[in-house]
Amino acid sequence: MRKEKKLLVYIPALNEESHIDHVIRQIPKSIEGIHSVDCLVVDDGSSDNTAAVAISAGAHVVSHGRNQGVGMAFQSAVQYAWENDYDLLVGIDADGQFDPAEIPMLIQPLLDNRADMVVGNRFTQGRPEYMPPIKFRGNKMVAALVSSISGQKFQDVSCGFRAYNREALLRLNVFEKFTYTHESILSLVYQGLRVMEMPISIRYFPERKSRVAGSISNYASKTSKIILRVLLDYRPLRVFGMLGSIFFIIGLAFEIFLFAFYMINGSFTPYKSAGFIGLGFIIFGMLIFLVALIAEMINRLRQSQDRLMVELKRRRFK
């Protein structure tokens, strides 16, 4: 018989006093296979009464003195889950877009040991009603990029409604303040954990202005940097190897052109400089290959350290 588990539902909040009470009270109090359900609100520097409203609704509250971003709010929730011996963590937004009644469905693959992380998928029926088209297209582009570099097909990698088991919580390495959604998926996939998607319902409110749609270039820039950093952390040989190959091939093309020109005309003039340019590209490409090998060795050392850290966490929070 499966041991019943402790569930923590985490809600990041910034000035959400008008919505947070309803979201907290809609969280199921009893779920089959779950011994206890608790709610944690991470108040990320709100200037209104978000924290007080959350406490009156029955939630635990961790308050940041200033706004630190959803990435830091997520790290606070993970730390709280470790320290208070929770087996499962579910993240849900504070604005009422997601349905807390779907939490049992979201965590079922974790209870059945079919996944270590479950991500809500908002796009099984296409673009949700009232979702800004530019936001929808941006999400699909990021999902395609994450799918490409992770080797696993994803439709929605930016959804904040997601669930983690204890093994995933122990292995998570999230450093970004801006967001954690893409980094957490890539980190766990690269460590060999099972990440799956689950269709969920989503409600967008036409009267609410989308902050993402107004700053899509800034969002894309920050997201690209996060994904690149994760790639450098977990796949440095792939990144530097590809970059080195580009320079090497360009240099080789210069040299082949110069050699063919000499064979036809018996002289390097007037393309003698092409030989030096090609040689420069080849040398630079080989230097990048060397960096790739060094980075891969560092990556292997980091993986050993990560495994050690997981064991230390497991012993401390067992």
3-state secondary structure 253-298: HHHHHHHHHHHHHCCCCCCHHHHHHHHHHHHHHHHHHHHHHHHHHH
Which pLDDT band holds residue 315 (cuts at 50, 70, 90)? confident
Structure tokens at 229: 């950093």
The CA dihedral of 272, 277, 281, 282, to the nearest 10 degrees, is: 20
Task: Say if CB 160 and CB 92 are below 8 A apart.
Answer: yes
Whether the per-residue pLDDT at 186 is higher than 60: the answer is yes
The stretch 15-32 carries a mean pLDDT of: 94
Residue 288 has what pLDDT? 95
- The percent of residues in the chain predicted with pLDDT above 90, rounded, is 58
Question: In this predicted model, what pLDDT tens digit does every residue of 192-223 receive, in sequence order?
Answer: 999 999 999 999 887 666 544 456 666 667 77
Residue 189 pLDDT:
92
Say how far apart CA 142 and CA 155 lie, in whole Å: 9
Which pLDDT value is given to residue 3?
Answer: 65
Does the pLDDT at position 2 exceed 60?
A: no
Are 88 and 169 in contact by the 8 Å Cβ rule? The answer is: no
Report the alpha-carbon distance of residue 57 to residue 259 in Å, rounded.
Answer: 77
pLDDT of 305 reads 73
Which pLDDT band, with edges at 50, 70 and 90, does 130 fall under? confident
CATH code, residues 5-234: 3.90.550.10
97-106 confidence digits (pLDDT tens): 999 999 999 9
Cβ count within 10 A of residue 26: 14
